[in-house]
Structure 1
């Protein structure tokens, strides 16, 4: 299933919809204003919170966490000693790790688990500026988590730019 992420630049609270490939609203990113740290909520079309995304404070390397039900689901950060490629990692609460590699700033990268691609993030086929697709390739994958990871990578890469 493909999801199209269209960010509205300079929107109050940075709120925007993520649509599926049929143009139906799939997720709503609700940016929380007036918070000490950057906070976003990923909601379903009915308004239920699926995940809360936070920028971690006071870390040596910039990182963002994705929480579900008050528990940390995944932590996304730049991988240490990645000299030849842009590589991020998403460490799951279970201790497993997803690898995120490719052109992160240009939004052409893969999210992989043990060498198997779970999702492909791409801006290539879109004519829209400030938009990209998250193509979740496995039907059993947690689409909300993969979309949240893509939002984290987008924020972290933009800060490094």
Structure 2
């Protein structure tokens, strides 16, 4: 299953559609502005909330929590002690883990489970500049969860970049 995400609209408080490979709207990412923590909802085309995504309020490192039907589904955070800055771990509620690595800010990364590829996020094959493709390579994979994981790691990587640039901008004053 391939999904297209218009990256240009991606921003906190923005809503954006995720389309299938035929251009049909499949999911809506609803960014909730004016909240104490960063919050998103992944909705179907009828407006039903499939997955809630929010920032964990009390955490040593920036952490996003993914919930389905009011219960925990996964927790996402940057991998500690990683040589690669763009390496995230997804801790699933069942005790298993997903590994996300690659060039997150360039939208060139992969999601794996136990060394097996689940999804590839890439701009390489697309000619539209502010669009990336999320290719779910396993038919039995939870597409909504993988989309939520993608939203989380991109959001966390962009927040980390903003913190770095904010600190750099203040050094010269």
Q: TM range, normalised to the smaller chain?
A: over 0.9
Q: TM-score, normalised by structure 1?
A: 0.94
Change (3 A) 1:132 1:43: same
**Structure 1 residues 4-13 or 62-71, which shifts more?**
4-13
DSSP 3-state at the match of 1:111: strand
Between structure 1 and structure 2, the one with the greater Rg is 2
Deviation at 1:11, TM superposition (A): 7.2
Aligned residue for 1:155? 155
What count of residue pairs does the alignment treat as equivalent? 161
Q: Kindly report the root-mean-square deviation, in angstroms, between the aligned alpha carbons of the 2 structures.
A: 1.6
Shift of 1:28: 0.3
Matches within 5 A, 1:1-161: 1-9=1-9, 13-84=13-84, 86-161=86-161
More helix by share: 2
Structure 1 residues 36-78: Cα deviation after superposition (integer angstroms, max 9, x where no partner): 1111110011111110110111211111111101111011100
Cα deviation, 1:80-138, whole Å, max 9, x if unaligned, reads: 11114621010001110000011111111110000000000112222333321110011
Asked if the contact 2:122/2:132 (under 8 Å) is kept, the reply is yes
User: 3-state DSSP class of the match of 2:29?
Assistant: strand
Indicate how the Cα distance of structure 1 residues 68 and 12 shifts in structure 2: closer, same or farther if over 3 A, else same.
Answer: closer
**Deviation above 3 Å: which 4+ runs of structure 1?**
7-12
Long gaps (5+) in structure 2: 162-173
- Cα distance in 2 for residues equivalent to 1:28 and 1:10: 12
Counterpart position of 2:170: none
SS at match of 1:159: helix
